[in-house]
Structure 1
Amino acid sequence: MGALVLQRLVPRPPRTPPGVESWLNFWDRDDIVVARPRVERWMEPNAAGVVPVTERADTNGLWTHTATKYLAHRAVAGPVAEILKKL
């Protein structure tokens, strides 16, 4: 992600978008698409001070990038369910 996407992000330096109230970044050690924990160091906070908070969630499988694999983890599914309750 850093080599392919980071250099193309606008604004520079990249920052958490203004409307974001929290940002949970989950990653799997075998998922080559995710930003891994480095996204925390790449992003500046928004006006509310929000930056990504990273947690590892190992999905154990061949294709680890699917949403269903990540949502099988309580750490991932719990916050998603809480937000959906508010809608």
Structure 2
Amino acid sequence: MDEDMETELAEAKKRRDEELAYVMGHALGRRFIWRLLHQVCAIDASNFSSDAMMLSYAQGRRDIGLDIQSALLDFDKQVFLTMEDENR
């Protein structure tokens, strides 16, 4: 990977972390993210469907949620755990 690409990726991660710090720094932000992950993206639900289109749709939603969850865990695992504790 060239140096420009590495610099760009580092800057993108820094911006992402700043955004996550802002959202996750507030109880309402943590509640919104929790609801997004568990109710909208259904990261803990089974996606099984005999309808291939419905299965693809549900799996796409879940994949987005898992990407968000991964970013949160990469950012600050303790904040993620705080969010889970507050909303269970």
Q: Please, what TM-score do these two structures have when normalized by structure 1? A: 0.26
More strand by share: 1
Higher helix share goes to which structure? 2
Which structure has the larger Rg over C-alpha atoms? 2
